[in-house]
Amino acid sequence: MKFEQYNFIAPLKRNLQTLGFRKPTDIQFKAIPPTLKGEDVLAIAQTGTGKTAAYAIPTIQLLSTRSAQKEQYSTRCLVMVPTHELAIQVADVFKQLIAGIGLHVVGIYGGVEQDKQIALLKNGADVLVATPGRMFDLASQGYLNFKRVEILIIDEADHMLELGFINDMEQLIRRIPRDRQTLFFSATINEHIKDLAYGLVRHAVRIQISPKDPVSKNIDHSVAFIEMDDKRFFLERFINENPDSKILVFVRTKVRAERVLKALERVGIQSQTIHSGKDQKERSTIMDSFKSGKNRILIATDVSARGVDIPNVEFVINYDLPEVAENYVHRVGRTGRGNQRGKALSFCSTEEKEILTEIETYLSKPITVMTLSKGEYEITVDISEESEHDWKSLLDDHQAFKDKKKKKSKK
């Protein structure tokens, strides 16, 4: 089924065509019909499969065909997200899809002055995309009310229902109308979070895409065993051997991010960092630079792993393995998005092997080890150009090995 076959209003169909939406992805195909029927939905799908559009498209159709009764500082649809970057991105998706429809979309998040956001909310919003901190702050000042909420959407639901946010979510549920429609979307979810989610909805339609594999099939995974103090040498080599690639490097802390940046600077490699230690204006500028390709090396903490759609990221490198296994899924999901293929390479030190085991358990399969000979390892640490193989060859060999195994298993 193609989008042109859906019974959408003409401007929405036109916008979908202009934006290149031809055929719905699996999650879109399964989530759009129950959403249009007004049903509650709990949807779990791999990263990069089009979850934002899966809820934005039917929401716009619903809001555009219902009579609106706005109040000052009110909203008809509330979309909750965990990070500033995701709030900006989701609001942009809605704005692109509502062109010429006459709906008003507002994104609110911390780290920037609130006055402009208050002004945008003054006459009410059809769609409000918000992070919890700024939203409750404006509500406490009287600049936001929830009386007219028809649809509540919780994006990255697993994170929004964790301990850090669950009290906020429970407070919100008490303040919005009971007869609302509720949509939960996430790439990962555990049984505890699932129970919490079901406690907030009425007979939700459950949609789960590829439940046994939370990571997109478009991503090739590998791990190299590299000691903590040697990782910078291997990162340098990888970057030098992929001079035209866009590379997203994940580290565990903001202090570590700045150290890696300095280490790359010392060998003449320019990069940027993004983490919670930077203000929102700086984070937005850095993200725009990476998205546009002006900067091709971005060193990030997990603040950039949640839902953010960055075009054409060819490689994700887990310089440090994430402490929480689920975050591996969100990190590597920044590559291999849509129909593109991506590659994820993890550097695992001796002290991180236990974390690697947890990640593999979570994925229900092992990550193939990229073997480095002792000589090759030593040459890389000595920053020599004499290594027999380059990273591209190793990755290609790794993929060829996987393909060969698949062919054998089919036979």
- pLDDT one-digit tens code per residue, 196-211: 777 777 777 888 776 5
> For residue 90, which amino acid is it?
V
Given a contact cutoff of 8 angstroms between Cβ atoms, the answer to whether 126 and 68 are in contact is yes
Q: Does 253 score more than 80 pLDDT? A: yes
What's the pLDDT score for residue 186? 83
Give the whole-angstrom CA distance, residue 31 versus residue 28.
Answer: 5
Identify which has the larger pLDDT, 307 or 143: 143
Average pLDDT over residues 262-277: 92
Tell me which of 303 and 117 has the higher pLDDT: 117
pLDDT of 252 above 80: yes
Q: What is the dihedral of CA 225, 227, 230, 233, to 10 degrees?
A: 10
pLDDT at 212 over 70: no
Model pLDDT, residue 259: 95
pLDDT score at 349: 96
Give the pLDDT mean for 304-329. 85
What average pLDDT does this structure show over 23-34? 93
pLDDT of 386 reads 39
59-73, 189-203, 312-326, 337-351: range with lowest mean pLDDT: 189-203
Average pLDDT over residues 291-303: 91
Residue 43 or residue 347, greater confidence: 347
Q: What Cα–Cα distance (Å) separates residue 370 from each residue in 62, 240, 346, 357? A: 49, 19, 10, 16
Q: Are 49 and 209 in contact (CB under 8 A)?
A: yes
Task: Share the mean pLDDT of the chain.
Answer: 87
| Candidate ranges 39-48, 167-176, 350-359, 395-404; pick with highest mean pLDDT | 350-359
**Domain annotation for the chain: domains and CATH numbers:** 3-208 (3.40.50.300), 219-391 (3.40.50.300)
DSSP assignment of 262-295, as one string?
HHHHHTT---EEESTTS-HHHHHHHHHHHHHTSS
Q: What is the mean pLDDT of residues 344-361?
A: 95
| Residues 400 and 253 sit within 8 Å (Cβ to Cβ) | no
Select, from the ranges 140-144, 214-218, 300-304, the one with the highest average predicted confidence (pLDDT). Answer: 140-144
Tokens 């193609």, located at residue: 2
Condensed to tens digits (0 to 9), the pLDDT of residues 30-84 reads 999 999 999 999 888 877 788 999 999 999 999 999 987 778 899 999 999 988 8
Model pLDDT, residue 384: 44
Q: What was the pLDDT predicted at 385?
A: 41
- Cβ(103)–Cβ(127) under 8 Å? yes
Structure confidence by residue, pLDDT tens digits, 10-23: 999 999 999 999 99
Q: Which two tokens stand for residue 381?
A: 């640490």
Per-residue pLDDT at 387 exceeds 50: no
